[in-house]
Amino acid sequence: MSLLSDLDRQALSRCYDLALKSYEEGGLPIGSVLTRGSAILAEGHNRRVQQGNPILHGEMDALQAAGRQKSYADVTLYTSLSPCMMCAGTIVQFGIPRVVIADATSFGGNEQFLRDRGIEVIVAEDPRCLALMQRLFAERPALWNEDIAEDHCSGAGA
């Protein structure tokens, strides 16, 4: 995590806190923070289970909390887990120029998609986020499989 600024570390720490909150609510442990400069613009966490909404991923929840923006050209999106294709597409659609990912090991694959579209992608591999996803795979594999619409866990070591 040496390429990370203090703000990056703080935002990733908040992503972890939000992910843990979601997990403790019975949901998926994914948190997201949107910043503009040094200020937190919005935050969210995966609430698919809690709200019964299949598209309320952590990134989508943070973007919804941010409300309408005239531009996203000066924001950074932080996420505890690498964005799925739906969230990656939204990042591209909104023109978010920078994404910092805490965990791309447990679930990944869209980092290059984002990079190919000119988005700066930084992968931190935060051990707390990695451990929380491993806990999900061990304790609630069916919930993860439902979220990614697969019949098996695709997480590292799962």
Structure tokens at 47: 């609430």
39, with CB counted inside 10 A (0-12, 13-18, 19+), is exposed
Q: Is 59 in the active site? A: yes
Give the burial class of 4: count Cβ atoms within 10 A of its Cβ; 0-12 exposed, 13-18 middle, 19 or more buried. middle
Measured over the CA atoms of residue 70, residue 76, residue 79 and residue 85, the dihedral's sign is: positive
- Among 59, 120, 125, 139, the one annotated catalytic: 59
How far apart CA 151 and CA 155 sit, in angstroms, is: 12
Those residues whose C-beta lies under 8 Å from the C-beta of residue 70, and which sit 6 or more positions away, are none
Contact 41, 34 (CB under 8 A): yes
Which residues are catalytically annotated? 59
